[in-house]
Amino acid sequence: MSSNLSIRFYLNKQKKAVEKHKIYCRIIMDRAKSEFYTGFKVSPESWNEEKRITLNPEINAELAEIESKIYRVRRNIIDNQLPLTAFNIVEYYKGSKSISTYILGYFTEHIMYIETKGELSKITISQYKATFKIIKQFINDSLKKHDLLLAEVYKYFQNWFILKVFYSTCSFV
């Protein structure tokens, strides 16, 4: 995967006069950016704009740890064959998304979301619930598991596709 990743820390200089400014982390990947507040504030005098670090070694160590965690998140996203975007890196880093997402858990959250949104008919929602039951039964009966990681779905689909579609359409003479 040849996606370029850039991680930069910067001081968010507010228009109103304040003693300390928030330190933000900006992630840029393939010209798309996503940002988040690191939880640290410093005065402009203690911020080195060129090196993008503070004069406080403890904060610098925490910023280095944030950067290290971001690289680990990126590696996990790649390893789990999930979409690699600046937004997703930030969401997984902050814990808003889970790399270990299970299909039944995801399906349950989605059904709850569409129910609360109220945009779909009751019949459509009942069809989602029926599909959920079928998927759950398949995972329990055929795979002998309680749930299935989303990253594993591709593997099972690929195996099914090769066995069912490819071999059934090919004739070996």
Residue 73 belongs to domain spanning: 5-94
User: For residues 21 and 86, what is the distance between their CA atoms, to the nearest angstrom?
Assistant: 24
Domain shared by 24 and 63, yes or no: yes
Distances (CA, A) of 47 to 7, 13, 37, 52: 17, 11, 16, 7
Q: Which of 94, 124, 143 is the last residue of a domain?
A: 94
Q: Which of 70, 94, 118 is the last residue of a domain?
A: 94
Which of 92, 94, 67 has its CA nearest to residue 80? 92
pTM here?
Answer: 0.58
Half-sphere exposure of residue 54: CA atoms within 13 angstroms, side-chain side: 23
Contacts of 97 (CB under 8 A, 6+ apart): 88, 91
Domain shared by 108 and 148, yes or no: yes
pLDDT band at 173 (very low <50, low <70, confident <90, very high): very low
Q: Which of 46, 66, 94 is the last residue of a domain?
A: 94
- Calculate what percentage of the chain has a pLDDT beyond 70: 89
Q: Which residue has the tokens 């039944």?
A: 104
Domain shared by 72 and 119, yes or no: no
Number of domains within the chain: 2
Q: Which residue has the tokens 């290290």?
A: 68
pLDDT digits (tens, 9 = 90+) for 87-143: 989 998 998 776 667 888 888 888 988 888 888 899 999 999 999 999 999 888 988
